[in-house]
Amino acid sequence: MIPRTAAQTAQRLAQGFPIVAITGPRQAGKTTLARAVFADKPYVSLEDPEEQEFAAADPRRFLARFAEGAVIDEAQRCPELFSYLQTQVDLRGCMGEFILTGSQQFGLLSGITQSLAGRVGLIQLLPFSLTELQGAGFLPTDLDTLLFQGAYPPLYDRPISPNDWLPNYVMTYLERDVRQLLAVRDLALLQRFLKLCAARTGQLLNLSSLAVDCGISHVTARQWLTVLEAGYIVFLLRPYHRNFGKRLVKTPKLYFLDTGLAAHLLGIRDAATLATHAQRGALFETLVVSDYVKRAFHIGQPADLYFWRDSTGHEVDLLLEQGGKLQAMEIKSGATLAPDWFQALRRWQAFAGGEAISPQLIYGGDAAYQREGVQVLGWRELAKLHH
């Protein structure tokens, strides 16, 4: 198993909460993480029909088997269990007793907030971060290969090509989950919606245009997007709210949380195609933004990330809040630095004044150095930044 940053987070949360819940997209390694960190606990999966039936029919007896707690996989399949779990952990007062894994979009979090509020430490586990891949010696040496492959664990722990694994992932999980939740009858329409979203990664979200292009209503487009967001397929990056004397854009930007999945939905079938692909810049921006989301989620923190854009089109790709100050990042996929890349950051510093700390420029090249008060980082350097 490739070591996960979230393993330390799980151990930490187990010291202070009776229940630790691990959620995230399918195939991100939730079960692997839970079983590795809590190897001393018995394991039960509610994907097993017999176990699910037992848990639903007689929750008290089901839990009585686990005198010292357990790892309960796919816990959201039996919502009846949550109130019994509450009684049990309140009675015993032990920390780290039960470990739950499951999918947010199928009610794991709603079950937790209704019955287990205040008793659960939550981890949102996404595919590998660049730091995790580099630590295990699996970070691709070539940027286009990384963008094409993405970071889902099965692509790194078994000899399978993205062209074989990703279509099955889309078919088996994405389409099945979304259809199950939304009772989508027209599969071709859903496939079209996924592809149109991938074509918009790194762009301001325009739901009306997305709905029109897909041939669905605005309300339906919003519903489908909400499910993709809850399932950790896409992430909406919110605009920063302070205006610094400018009129601001209020629309979020849409990002996929895995570049490999986005590239697959864009019809990209090999890394070489990416070198000249029109979406390469957007996919590189997606890589950087998603890596910062992973950094936050894997240490059990919310992703306090924003972008800034005024009504005249001045924009900063990524803003991080750090100790009441703001760090701006410009993201460029080119391998050769261009002087005009620094303009947006200089403009931002003039707007933000004393609230800005030293900005960063992350680009598709290799070097790392300071220039004009900006920390320039090649894409591999991202993997060396500490979580």
Q: pTM of the predicted model, to two decimals?
A: 0.95
Domain-ending residue, one of 124, 147, 171: 124
Q: Are residues 17 and 43 in the same domain?
A: yes
User: For tokens 């009504």, what's the residue?
Assistant: 311
> 364 by DSSP, 3-state: which?
coil
d(CA 377, CA 196): 31
What percent of the chain is predicted at pLDDT more than 70? 97
Q: Are residues 110 and 154 in the same domain?
A: no
| 132 or 186, higher pLDDT | 132
Instruction: Give the pLDDT band of residue 325 (cuts 50, 70, 90).
Output: confident
Q: Are residues 116 and 144 in the same domain?
A: no
Q: Are residues 120 and 182 in the same domain?
A: no
Instruction: Give the pLDDT band of residue 294 (cuts 50, 70, 90).
Output: very high
Cα torsion 38, 43, 47, 51 to 10°: value is -150
Backbone angles phi, psi at 73, to 5 degrees: -85, 145
Residues in the chain: 387
Q: Are residues 242 and 359 in the same domain?
A: yes
Residue 106 has pLDDT above 50, yes or no: yes
Q: Are residues 138 and 249 in the same domain?
A: yes
Domain-ending residue, one of 124, 139, 172: 124
Average pLDDT over residues 350-378: 90
pLDDT the model gives residue 253:
97
Class of residue 154 by CB neighbours under 10 A (exposed 0-12, middle 13-18, buried 19+): middle
pLDDT the model gives residue 181:
78
Number of domains in the chain: 2
Chain centre distance of CA 314: 27
β-strand 120-124 against 203-204: which pairing, if any? unpaired
Q: What residues make up the domain containing 252?
A: 130-384
Q: Domain containing 108 — which CATH number?
A: 3.40.50.300
Domain-ending residue, one of 77, 108, 124: 124
Q: Are residues 182 and 330 in the same domain?
A: yes
Average pLDDT over residues 159-168: 96
Average pLDDT over residues 150-163: 96
Q: Are residues 188 and 285 in the same domain?
A: yes
d(CA 24, CA 30): 7
Six token digits for residue 31: 């079960």
pLDDT the model gives residue 244:
67
| 331 or 79, higher pLDDT | 331
Instruction: Give the pLDDT band of residue 386 (cuts 50, 70, 90).
Output: low
Residue 387 has pLDDT above 60, yes or no: no
d(CA 264, CA 279): 12
Average pLDDT over residues 65-74: 95
- When the pLDDT of each residue in the chain is averaged and rounded to a whole number, the result is 92
Residue 263 has pLDDT above 50, yes or no: yes
Average pLDDT over residues 344-372: 89
Residue 17 has pLDDT above 50, yes or no: yes
Q: Are residues 171 and 39 in the same domain?
A: no
Q: Are residues 192 and 48 in the same domain?
A: no
Q: Are residues 42 and 155 in the same domain?
A: no
Average pLDDT over residues 236-253: 83
Instruction: Give the pLDDT band of residue 331 (cuts 50, 70, 90).
Output: very high
Most confident range (mean pLDDT) of 41-50, 95-104, 183-192 is: 41-50
Lowest mean pLDDT among 58-67, 125-134, 238-247, 276-285: 238-247
List the beta strands (DSSP E) in the chain.
19-23, 43-45, 70-73, 98-102, 120-124, 203-204, 234-239, 253-256, 305-309, 315-322, 325-332, 356-363, 368-371, 374-378
Q: Are residues 158 and 263 in the same domain?
A: yes
- Contact criterion met (CB below 8 Å) for 75 and 101: yes
pLDDT the model gives residue 245:
62
Instruction: Give the pLDDT band of residue 153 (cuts 50, 70, 90).
Output: very high
Around 158, how many Cα atoms within 13 Å sit in the side-chain half-sphere?
Answer: 9
